[in-house]
Structure 1
Amino acid sequence: MTERAAVNSQDASTHPADQPVRGAEEEIAPVAEPAARTQTPAVLFVCVKNGGKSQMAAGLLRHDLAVAGKEGAVLVSSAGTQPGSKINALSAEVLQEIGADIGGETPAQLTPEAMREAGHVVVIGAEAVVEELDGVTLERWEIDEPSDRGIEGRERMELVRDDIHLRVRELRERLLG
């Protein structure tokens, strides 16, 4: 250390000329490591009328989260590209059988804002047309359609419910890790 530097460190002078020159690495604060994800994951389920399949998926995910003690761990919503006026009664009935309640839900219109807010959109079935948005993850579930095999009514709806339920469980695992 030079004599001047030794004197300056003892005097603790605040005059700029008396301050030691610092390297650039000392002037810039180190970049912090990226923080762990703290935002609650969200998913928006979409079908055409938002009265059956997308409502079933949303109801099943909410139900599964509640049963697992993780209610609210994922923000869940649903919408339709051409929403109907009410929930499909048979959809609500077959969900009620396993403890999921969608009876109080109402169909909602799909909007770009809802898609951006969720950040993850699941389109159920081939009929709903949803345009991609930057920053939004979009996936499509081509679910089994029992009516193509002549299966109708309650049996059809139970098969649709079970197919959607398997996919919802897999999605829950992906979202929560």
Structure 2
Amino acid sequence: MNTPPQVLFVCVSNRGKSVMAEYLTPTITGRIAASSAGTSAKIGGQVNDLSAHVLAEVGADAAGHEPRQLTDELMRAADLVVVVGTADVTPPEGVALEVWDTDEPSERGIDGVERMRLIRDDITHRIRTLADRITQ
């Protein structure tokens, strides 16, 4: 039995987009092991309320998530590091990194739960594409 690729999703706070990606991944595919971290994570914080709400709408429970700070060790442990959004990440040598320039509905005047649903749906599509590309 093959072990699934380890994907580390990264955003700035590890309270929104990277959390969505981490918790959506097992609801979308069992072919990727997902985790997340933030470049400026506030330890002791919690997931963004609207992110948790829109995740729950699709059966993903992130209520117990605690933000964690991105480290070189976390990146080295992953098969792939995916930056979800605009976080500035410089990986250690040899670490595979890709950046998802995700939809930002607030730039079009869309906020609140509608904004988060659009972001969730964009990330969902990207996870499906990623799973098809990196797994068999």
Aligned to 2:7, which of 26, 43, 49?
Answer: 43
1:109 aligns with 2:73: no
1:93 aligns with 2:57: no
- Report the counterpart of residue 149 of structure 1 in structure 2: 108
Indicate the structure whose relative CO is greater, using CA pairs within 8 Å and at least 6 residues apart.
Answer: 2
**Distance (Å, rounded) in 1 between the aligned partners of 2:110 and 2:2:** 44
- Report the counterpart of residue 34 of structure 2 in structure 1: 76
CA shift, 1:74, in A, is: 2.4
- Report the counterpart of residue 125 of structure 2 in structure 1: 166
Q: Which runs of 4+ in 1 moved over 6 A?
A: none
8 Å contact kept, 1:44–1:76: yes
CA shift, 1:38, in A, is: 4.6
Equivalenced residue count is 134
What SS does the aligned partner of 2:76 have?
Answer: helix
**Distance (Å, rounded) in 2 between the aligned partners of 1:74 and 1:158:** 22
Instruction: Show CA shifts across 1:25-83 (max 9, x none).
Output: xxxxxxxxxxxx95531100000000000000011102112xxxx3xx42211000001
* TM-score, normalised by the number of residues in structure 1: 0.72
8 Å contact kept, 2:72–2:91: no
**Distance (Å, rounded) in 1 between the aligned partners of 2:94 and 2:33:** 17
- Report the counterpart of residue 63 of structure 1 in structure 2: 27
User: RMSD over aligned Cα, in angstroms?
Assistant: 1.5
What SS does the aligned partner of 1:109 have?
Answer: coil
List alignment gaps of at least 5 residues for structure 2: none
Q: 1:148 to 1:173 in 2, by over 3 A?
A: same
Max radius of gyration: which structure?
1
**Percent identity over the alignment?**
51
8 Å contact kept, 1:119–1:135: no
